[in-house]
Amino acid sequence: MLDIKLIRENPEKINELLKRRNPELSIDKVLEIDADRRKIQAEADELRSKRKNESQKIGLMKKNGENTDAIQEEVRALGDEIKALEEKQIELDNAQKDLLLHIPNIPDETTPIGKSEDDNPTVSTWGEPTKFDFEFKPHWDLCEEKNLVDFERGVKLSQSRFTLYRGKGAKLERAIIQFFLDLHTEKHGYEEILPPFMANAATMTGTGQLPKFKEDMYKCVDEDLYLIPTAEVPVTNIYAGEILSEDDLPKYMTAYTPCFRREAGSAGKDTRGLIRVHQFNKVEMVKLTTPESSPEEHEKLTQDAEQCLKMLGLPFRRVALCTADIGFSANKCYDLEVWLPSYNNYKEISSCSNYGDYQARRANIRYRNKEGKVQFVHTINGSGLAVGRTFAAIVENFQQADGTILIPEVLQKYMGTDRI
């Protein structure tokens, strides 16, 4: 959530930055409500002061034996006016908060300006796109032929875009998860977290999924619970409403969870295979940092995600998302895109985002610095990595002419074999 003080002090700059995202975005309505709210607050404060003075007079008048009926009636009337103003102020507070919850984060000055994903510049590439001297197969065909994933029965058990891993496919999925967790905890210094897979509305609001993206969530009927779309939601909110010490920062946390997304706006996109499904596994990295260290920590987190791909030997590129393409809560984001032969292109496998204090302000995650001042932390997260897409990339890039699939060396100790 944007800082109302920042909006008041820099309205033109905030509007300019928001319009880099979308020309229709504006904080003008927020400022209009804020002006009304502050005017009413001033009126209420003036009436409270008057009521206090009149109440003091009543005590003196009673001591002097004077009749206080008229002044008591005046004080009661003042109380009614104050109550009406307070109710109006609450109404305006709620309206202002609702508006602020629907306004995205302002992009960082270093975020490339653009109108669509076509304007996302490539920052770097690693490895070369895989070439074959035989007719390669897409992962969905290989998975069915080798009985790694049963797409048909996954649909039967649930609905379209749900999958059933089995046999060596289930083992490979588990091996990828274990490798990512071991790498992040043993080499990159993250604390492993196993959070709930359901979160309440307050938690969803803290990271920015609610209220704007309610239609993309799976909600439990008659309960204030949603299936999480990413581990970012519960892990970021672990310290919601708390004040940490600067000595506690930065906090590095990683978690494996299944993720659940309705993908309401994706009809017709990536209809085959593992690229876009309603339930998928993911290992997430989350950091809480000071404002001063967040740019450096964002870069380090992105490198941690890149290390996963490098150790697996998968070709990828890093892309800087432009202002029109960054996520709702982010101010800066890098996407890592892995090479998929079936698409003859790179596909996103990780988004590594810096949120500044946007999420922390919504979730009220603060810290006390060394001078004793309490301020909001910065939050950072990224996939390390999306497991299903990693699975698809391994199957496609490491398929052999004899129909086998080579297992990356770093996964062989988990799989107990070098190919399937």
Kindly state the average pLDDT of the residues 399-410.
97
Same domain, residue pair 277 and 316? yes
> pLDDT tens-digit profile of 256-311?
999 999 976 566 667 789 999 999 999 999 999 999 999 999 999 999 999 999 99
Q: Are residues 168 and 275 in the same domain?
A: yes
Last-in-domain residue among 74, 102, 130: 102
To the query of whether residue 348 is one of the catalytic residues in this protein, the response is yes
**Residues 150, 66 within the same domain:** no
* Confidence at residue 271, expressed as pLDDT on a 0 to 100 scale: 78
User: 144 and 281, same structural domain?
Assistant: yes
| Percentage of residues of the chain with pLDDT beyond 90 | 91
Pick the catalytic residue from 37, 161, 362, 389. Answer: 389
pLDDT digits (tens, 9 = 90+) for 173-197: 999 999 999 999 999 999 999 999 9
pLDDT at 360 exceeding the cut of 80: yes
* Residue where a domain terminates, one of 78, 102, 126: 102
Q: Rounded to the nearest 5 degrees, what angle is found at the Cα of 110, between the Cα atoms of 210 and 29? A: 45
Q: Is 32 a catalytic residue?
A: no
- Confidence at residue 266, expressed as pLDDT on a 0 to 100 scale: 61
Domain boundary among 56, 78, 102: 102
pLDDT at 264: 64
* Residue of 294, 350, 351, 383 with catalytic role: 351
The reply to whether 63 and 140 lie within a common domain is no
Give Cα 340 distance to the centre of its chain: 26
Q: Is the model's pLDDT at 361 over the cut of 70?
A: yes
Residues contacting 32, CB < 8 A, separation 6+: none
List 20, 37, 161, 261, catalytic entry: 261
Rounded Cα distance, 244 and 251, in Å = 10
Q: Based on the fold, state whether residues 85 and 232 are members of the same structural domain.
A: no
* Residue tagged active-site, from 266, 293, 348, 368: 348
Residue 386 within any structural domain of the chain: yes
**Residue 70 and residue 132 in one domain:** no
* Whether residue 272 lies in the annotated active site: no
* Mean pLDDT along residues 74-85: 91
Q: What is the pLDDT of residue 63?
A: 84
Question: What was the pLDDT predicted at 75?
Answer: 87
Residue 136 shares a structural domain with residue 81: no
Q: Is residue 111 part of a domain?
A: no
Query: Confidence band (pLDDT; 50, 70, 90) for 137?
Result: very high
191 and 232 both lie in a single domain = yes
261: annotated active-site residue: yes
Please tell me the least confidently modeled range out of 154-163, 257-266, 317-326, 333-342: 257-266
32 pLDDT more than 80 = yes
18 belongs to a structural domain: no
Domain for residue 265, yes or no?
yes
Same domain for 313 and 359?
Answer: yes
State how many domains the chain has.
2
Pick the closest to residue 365 from 376, 353, 350, 380 (CA basis): 376
Within-domain flag for 14: no
Distance of CA 121 to the CA centre of its chain: 22
| pLDDT 10s digits, 150-173 | 999 999 999 999 999 999 999 999
Domain assignment present for residue 22? The answer is no
Query: Counting beta carbons within 10 angstroms of the beta carbon of residue 307, is it exposed (0 to 12), middle (13 to 18) or buried (19 or more)?
Result: middle
- Give the domain CATH number at 163: 3.30.930.10
Range of the domain at 70: 28-102
What average pLDDT is seen over the chain?
Answer: 95
Q: What is the pLDDT of residue 68?
A: 86
In a domain, residue 52? The reply is yes
Q: For residues 180 and 232, state if they share a domain.
A: yes
pTM of the model: 0.92
Active site residue 351: yes
Looking at the domain assignment, is residue 7 inside a domain? Answer: no
Q: Which of 41-50, 330-339, 362-371 has the lowest mean pLDDT?
A: 41-50
Q: Are 170 and 285 part of one and the same domain?
A: yes
Helix or strand or coil: residue 281?
A: strand
pLDDT exceeds 70 at position 412: yes
Residue type, 242: E
Q: Which DSSP string do the residues of 108-163 spell out, in sequence order?
A: PTTSPP-SSGGG--EEEEES-----SS----HHHHHHHTTSB-HHHHHHHS-TT--
Q: Of 48, 262, 276, 366, which one is the catalytic site residue?
A: 276
